[in-house]
């Protein structure tokens, strides 16, 4: 499964290069389900070859990091602007379509409020596995100024792409070496999960029949 996903991403990213990374992170600013972390991992071991060098660093920043940061900023503005203007009203009306609820925003606000440095909290949220759309909408409804929002989003996207791509570069050779084994293990785990689900459904159905 992971092998198949990597093949799909590879067929999209490799031909498009830096624009492919830009587009992937642009879409990450719009949709919760875009796996940008996995995309950066893949980009890391697709684009970054060989030992650390000037050429590798140039590729890292020009093909992965800067395109990703710019893509995130531009893509996220599509939801930042209306959430900034309309606030909670925007979430109540459109939240279910973008995968964000007002309750989630309040919980996120409670976590961010624990620090005196809101900018750092937002940057770390961009780097962590917090959905990008949630961070964007939170910044909008809390009226974080556009200028501040732009630079903290850029910095967050920059360091996320940088760190994950470097991990992808360092782990790339190892993955390629064991790709077949990983794919086989995933298939076995998938079969086990399916069997467990079927067994659970059958058990509940029989239990229900016995009670009746």
Give whichever of 24-33, 149-158, 172-181 has the largest mean pLDDT.
149-158
Domain range summary for the chain, segments of one domain joined by +: 2-177
Tell me which DSSP letter residue 117 carries.
Answer: -
pTM over 0.85: no
Q: Give the pLDDT band of residue 151 (cuts 50, 70, 90).
A: very high
Angstrom distances, CA of residue 58 to CA of 42, 54, 65, 79: 17, 6, 10, 32
Axis crossing angle, helix 66-86 with helix 146-211, rounded to the nearest 10: 80
End-to-end alpha-carbon separation of the chain, Å?
41
pLDDT at 150: 93
Contact predicate 141/105, CB 8 Å: yes
3-state secondary structure 124-164: HHHHCCCCHHHHHHHHHHCCCCHHHHHHHHHHHHHHHHHHH
pLDDT digit string (tens) for 65-114? 999 899 989 988 988 999 888 888 888 887 777 777 778 777 777 666 55
Axis crossing angle, helix 132-141 with helix 118-127, rounded to the nearest 10: 160
């Amino acid at each position: 499964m992971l092998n198949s996903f990597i093949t799909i991403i590879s067929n999209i990213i490799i031909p498009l290069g830096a624009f492919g990374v830009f587009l992937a992170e642009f879409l990450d600013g719009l949709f919760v389900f875009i796996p940008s972390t996995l995309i950066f991992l893949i980009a890391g071991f697709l684009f970054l070859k060989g030992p650390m060098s000037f050429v590798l660093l140039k590729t890292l920043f020009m093909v992965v990091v800067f395109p990703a940061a710019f893509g995130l900023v531009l893509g996220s503005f599509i939801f930042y602007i209306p959430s900034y203007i309309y606030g909670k009203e925007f979430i109540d009306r459109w939240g279910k379509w973008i995968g964000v609820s007002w309750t989630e925003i309040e919980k996120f606000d409670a976590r961010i409020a624990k620090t005196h440095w809101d900018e750092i909290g937002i940057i770390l949220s961009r780097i962590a596995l917090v959905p990008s759309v949630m961070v964007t909408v939170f910044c909008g409804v809390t009226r974080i100024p556009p200028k501040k929002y732009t630079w903290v989003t850029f910095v967050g996207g920059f360091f996320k792409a940088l760190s994950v791509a470097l991990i992808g570069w360092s782990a790339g050779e190892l993955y390629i070496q064991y790709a077949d084994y990983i794919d086989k293990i995933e298939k076995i785990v998938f079969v086990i999960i399916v069997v467990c689900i079927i067994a659970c459904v059958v058990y509940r159905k029989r239990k229900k029949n016995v009670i009746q």
